[in-house]
């Protein structure tokens, strides 16, 4: 079997030790898809950990591996995909080693997922209320249908769906985009999960509805002590709601750190490129937006055999070393966690935005 170019993943797995405050600990996670084009390396050596009530923001271009990572956490990667290696430790248990019966007791009950397309999550032939009641009764054994209905009404109140009794009887097609997203959040919250994975929860919604959904998630996090993984393409969203930022590119982490460290002192040229290409509401009125030249690299495994840095072909500051090998994580000496996979990370950290 063709092997990918190796990086020193032990540096990161050692950086995220398991302790009493840890809710989730992902260690050296790698995922591949076996297709007619060849073997696609979807995730490469992903490692991170999360504490209770923390919000981890994950950002990257389309195809960076964000959604595959979300599915992997719940062990939902299906063929032709395969979780090749790694550990996903939740409450001291590796989810990847659990039987289907045991993992099903955790999915939806202790870990919930909010998908980017809520319409696909609901059966269009059944009222939304019926489907949420089914979820409640599945995760709360012995509860009556009447009690489940009362819980559903209360959940609709929590997520600010007006006229909840009437809404329970309506079909998904009768909900607006923002309302059906709220219904999905209500469904995700029905079991009081300890961890919520939100995969682009505001995709295709207008700005006003986006803010309402995100404020709702933030409010629920504080009230219920929920830990949140927030996946998005929007840096402004993460600037407001995340505690830590993880930057994904071509299936790997290029930079990870506390929010202020990453936004104020980005230490990878890709992160800096994402920040520079984000429209700003202040400063020069007609300033031309910068762009990141080139395209994301092929993820076919045979195309990844070159030892060069994965961002080399789009980088404006590459050195000869970047052509010779992939950089190991470089930890930045600033407040809290902050590392970058760039040979020039320390120098970039000192540059002005």
Beta strands 338-340; 252-258: pairing state: antiparallel
pLDDT per residue as tens digits for the range 306-334: 788 999 999 999 999 999 999 999 998 76
With cut-offs at 50, 70 and 90, classify the pLDDT of residue 191: confident
In this prediction, residues 132-150 reach a mean pLDDT of 90
Give the Cα separation of 219 and 296 in Å (integer). 36
For residue 3, the model assigns a pLDDT of 44
- Confidence class for position 5, pLDDT limits 50, 70, 90: very low
Percent share of the chain, pLDDT over 90: 56
- Integer Cα distance of 103 and 73 in angstroms: 11
Q: What is the pLDDT of residues 81-95, one digit of tens each?
A: 999 999 999 989 999
- CA distances to 24, 36, 55, 66, 94 from 71, in Å: 14, 22, 18, 9, 15
The pLDDT value recorded for residue 1 is 42
Contact assessment for residue 149 and residue 134, using Cβ atoms and an 8 Å cutoff: no
What pLDDT was estimated at residue 282? 61
State the chain's mean pLDDT as an integer.
Answer: 88
Percent of the chain whose pLDDT exceeds 70 = 90
Distance CA 193, CA 109 (A): 6
Strand partners, 258: 244
């Amino acid at each position: 079997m063709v092997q990918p170019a190796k990086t020193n993943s032990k540096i990161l797995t050692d950086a995220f030790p398991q302790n009493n405050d840890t809710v989730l600990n992902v260690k050296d996670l790698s995922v591949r898809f076996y297709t007619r084009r060849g073997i696609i390396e979807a995730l490469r050596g992903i490692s991170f950990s999360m504490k209770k009530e923390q919000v981890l923001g994950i950002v990257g271009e389309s195809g960076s591996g964000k959604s595959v990572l979300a599915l992997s956490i719940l062990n939902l990667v299906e063929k032709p995909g395969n979780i090749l290696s790694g550990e996903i430790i939740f409450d001291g248990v590796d989810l990847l080693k659990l039987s289907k019966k045991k993992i099903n007791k955790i999915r939806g009950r202790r870990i919930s997922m909010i998908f980017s397309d809520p319409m696909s999550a609901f059966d269009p032939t059944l009222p939304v209320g019926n489907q949420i009641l089914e979820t409640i009764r599945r995760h709360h054994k012995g509860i009556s249908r009447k009690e489940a209905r009362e819980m559903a009404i209360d959940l609709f109140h929590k997520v600010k769906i007006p006229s909840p009794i009437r809404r329970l009887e309506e079909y998904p097609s009768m909900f607006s985009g923002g309302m059906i997203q709220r219904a999905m959040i209500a469904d995700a919250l029905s079991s009081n999960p300890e961890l919520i994975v939100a995969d682009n929860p505001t995709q295709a919604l207008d700005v006003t509805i986006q803010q309402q959904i995100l404020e709702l998630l933030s409010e629920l996090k504080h009230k219920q002590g929920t830990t949140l993984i927030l996946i998005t393409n929007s840096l402004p969203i993460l600037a407001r709601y995340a505690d830590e930022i993880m930057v994904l590119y071509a299936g790997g982490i290029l930079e990870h750190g506390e929010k202020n460290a990453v936004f104020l002192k980005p230490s990878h040229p890709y992160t800096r490129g994402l920040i520079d290409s984000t429209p700003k509401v202040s400063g020069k009125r007609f300033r031309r937006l910068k762009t990141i030249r080139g395209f994301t690299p092929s993820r076919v495994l045979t195309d990844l055999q070159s030892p060069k840095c994965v961002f080399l072909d789009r980088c404006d500051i590459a050195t000869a070393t970047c052509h010779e090998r992939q950089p190991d994580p470089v930890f930045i000496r600033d407040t809290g966690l902050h590392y970058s996979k760039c040979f020039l990370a320390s120098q970039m950290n000192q540059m002005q935005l």
